[in-house]
Structures are given as structure tokens and as C-alpha cells.
Amino acid sequence: MTGPAGRPEELAAATMADRRAQLEDGLSELDCGHCGGVVRVKKNSLAHTSIQWTADAVRRCPAYAIRDGCPHLRRSVDSAVADGWLEVPEDPLEIPRGRLVHPSG
Ligand SMILES: [Zn+2]
């Protein structure tokens, strides 16, 4: 892949579009059942949730500043997973070691 480099502004636009696609890919909008603030969430694994706060949610949700996050929001995430519309990818690092053992005999 050789060729003339694009103009800087074209490169910047492409990078931004790329990054936006990455951010939007896999992020689902979810509203806190308590305060109604909308955040964008993505499950990286069962235990790990990425939450992207929108300005609106920060303003609405009094729990934004709490270290553990909004408990209502956490419940919303859990029920979204339980309902099956929030996908949880399998984390290859968390596969139990037993599965990797070769069968003997
Ligand atoms: Zn909230």
C-alpha cells in the first residue's frame, strides 16, 4: 500500500470517522431507570462494562460522581443483559483452564 499521503485535513477526517465508528460500534444507548439520563454502554465481558456518559446523563444523574457509579444504572445494565439485547462477548482470557487441557488416553 504505497502512494501519496493524503492531505492532512483528509487524514484527520478519516481518523475521526474511524474513531467514531469504533466508539459507536458496540455501544448501546441505555437510560438510567431512575433519573432518565442516557448513557452509552458496552459489555466487554460479564464483569466489565464500559459506560460512556453523555452530557445529559451527567447533568441528570446525581450518582455520576459516585465512585461505583449509579446503582440504578447498574441495574438497568444487568436487566439489559438478562433481556438479551445487550450482548456480552466471551472473554477468551476467562475461559477456564480445564478446557485447554488435552484429553488423555
Ligand atoms: Zn441515575
Can you give the pLDDT of all 105 residues of the chain as single tens digits?
555 666 777 777 766 665 554 455 678 899 888 888 899 999 988 888 888 888 989 899 888 777 777 888 889 999 999 999 898 887 666 555 555 555 565
Range of the domain at 41: 28-87
pTM assigned to the model = 0.59
How many domains are there within the chain?
Answer: 1
Q: How far is it, in rounded angstroms, from Cα 18 to Cα 56?
A: 24
Neighbouring residues of the ion ligand 1, judged by CB less than 5 Å: 32, 34-35, 61, 63, 70, 72
- 71 within domain boundaries: yes
Backbone angles phi, psi at 35, to 5 degrees: -105, -15
| DSSP element (H, E) containing 76 | helix 71-83
Spacing, Cα 36 to ligand 1 middle (Å)? 7
Cell numbers for 45, please give them: 465481558
Label residue 3 left, alpha or beta by phi (over 0 means left) and psi (-120 to 50 means alpha).
Answer: left
- 20 within domain boundaries: no
